[in-house]
C-alpha cells in the first residue's frame, strides 16, 4: 500500500514524540505501531551527510551536538515512499557547544553515555522505522507550555521550518520503543531523497529520567533538567 503519493521521503527519529493523531498539528508520542512494509527501489542513506542534532536544556544553560547515522535505507515504489529504517550510533554522540579539549567535555559525554541517560553500554544504538506518512495540513503547530527560564526549550513551531508532511515511526532507544509523529520537509530529485525535520521529544518516555523536572520540588531553585529535548534530522538517501 502506497503511503505517500507524488513525493518520496524517509525519516527518522531521534531522541525525541508522537502517536498518529489524524489531521491534527500536534507533535506527540504514543505506543509502538506496525512498521510499514517496504517495496520497490531501495535507496541507501549517506552517513557522511546524515545526522540527528540535539539540544538539551536546563534553567542555567543548554548543551547541543549531534548523533551520527551509521546506516539506513529508504524504499520507494514509483514516486511513493513505502518504508524506511535508520540506525544511530549513541556511542558516536558529539557535543558541539564546547571543545573536546575542555576538561568538562569528557565529564558531560560520559554522563550522557551512562545509565543516567542513554545507558550506551547496554544500548549503543537507536533505531527509527517508518510507520506512516500524511500531508502537512495548513495551520499552526501546537506548542507545549514550558516552565519559563532564561533557557526555556525552543517551541515545536519554531523548529518545524516549512514542513510538507507529517511523518510517524517507531523510535527505539534505551530498549524502549515509542511511536513518534513530527513535521518534516521532504524533497526528491535525480534519485536522491532528502528530509529535514525539527521537533521536540520528552526524553523520559525512553527512560532518560535523570534530573526529571516533574520531580523538582521547587522549580524556582532551577535544580532540574527540562524533559524536553529538541531534535533536528538531516537525512539524505541515494
Q: Which fold has domain 28-237?
A: Lipocalin (2.40.128)
Q: How confident is the model at residue 9 (pLDDT cuts 50, 70, 90)?
A: very low
pLDDT exceeds 90 at position 148 = yes
Are the CB atoms for 79 and 8 separated by under 8 Å? yes
State how far Cα 51 lies from the chain centre. Answer: 10
> pTM of this prediction?
0.86
Beta-carbon contacts of residue 237 (< 8 Å; ≥ 6 apart): 10, 43, 44, 45, 46, 50, 72, 73, 74, 192, 193, 194
Q: CA 79 to CA 25: how far, in whole Å?
A: 25
Three-state SS at 64: strand
pLDDT exceeds 60 at position 14 = no
The CA R_g of the chain, rounded to the nearest whole Å, is 17
Mean pLDDT of 156-168: 93
Domains in the chain: boundaries: 28-237
- Give the pLDDT confidence score for residue 3 in this predicted structure: 40
- Give the pLDDT confidence score for residue 78 in this predicted structure: 66
Q: How confident is the model at residue 79 (pLDDT cuts 50, 70, 90)?
A: low
Q: How confident is the model at residue 77 (pLDDT cuts 50, 70, 90)?
A: confident
pLDDT exceeds 70 at position 4 = no
Beta bridge partners of 80: 77
**For 86-138, what is each residue's pLDDT tens digit?**
999 999 999 999 999 999 999 999 999 999 999 999 999 999 999 998 888 87
Amino acid at each position: 500500500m502506497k503511503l505517500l503519493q507524488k513525493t518520496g521521503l524517509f525519516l527518522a527519529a531521534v531522541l525525541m514524540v508522537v502517536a498518529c493523531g489524524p489531521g491534527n498539528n500536534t507533535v506527540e508520542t504514543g505506543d509502538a505501531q506496525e512498521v510499514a512494509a517496504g517495496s520497490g527501489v531501495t535507496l541507501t542513506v549517506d552517513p557522511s551527510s546524515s545526522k540527528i542534532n540535539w539540544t538539551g536544556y536546563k534553567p542555567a544553560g543548554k548543551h547541543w551536538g549531534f548523533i551520527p547515522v551509521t546506516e539506513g535505507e529508504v524504499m520507494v515504489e514509483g514516486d511513493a515512499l513505502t518504508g524506511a529504517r535508520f540506525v544511530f550510533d549513541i556511542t558516536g554522540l558529539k557535543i558541539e557547544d564546547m571543545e573536546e579539549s575542555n576538561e568538562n567535555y569528557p565529564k558531560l559525554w560520559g554522563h550522557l553515555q551512562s545509565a543516567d541517560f542513554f545507558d550506551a553500554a547496554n544500548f549503543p544504538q537507536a533505531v527509527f522505522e517508518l510507520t506512516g506518512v500524511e500531508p502537512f495540513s495548513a495551520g499552526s503547530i501546537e506548542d507545549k507550555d514550558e516552565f519559563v527560564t532564561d533557557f526555556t526549550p525552543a517551541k515545536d513551531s519554531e523548529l518545524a521550518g516549512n514542513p510538507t508532511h507529517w511523518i510517524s515511526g517507531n523510535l527505539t532507544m534505551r530498549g524502549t520503543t515509542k511511536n513518534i509523529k513530527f513535521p518534516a520537509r521532504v524533497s526528491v530529485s535525480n534519485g536522491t531523497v532528502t528530509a529535514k525535520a525539527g521537533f521536540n521529544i520528552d526524553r523520559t518516555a525512553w527512560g532518560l529520567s535523570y534530573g526529571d523536572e516533574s520531580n523538582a520540588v521547587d522549580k524556582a531553585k532551577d535544580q532540574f533538567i527540562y524533559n524536553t529535548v529538541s531534535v533536528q534530522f538531516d537525512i539524505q538517501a541515494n
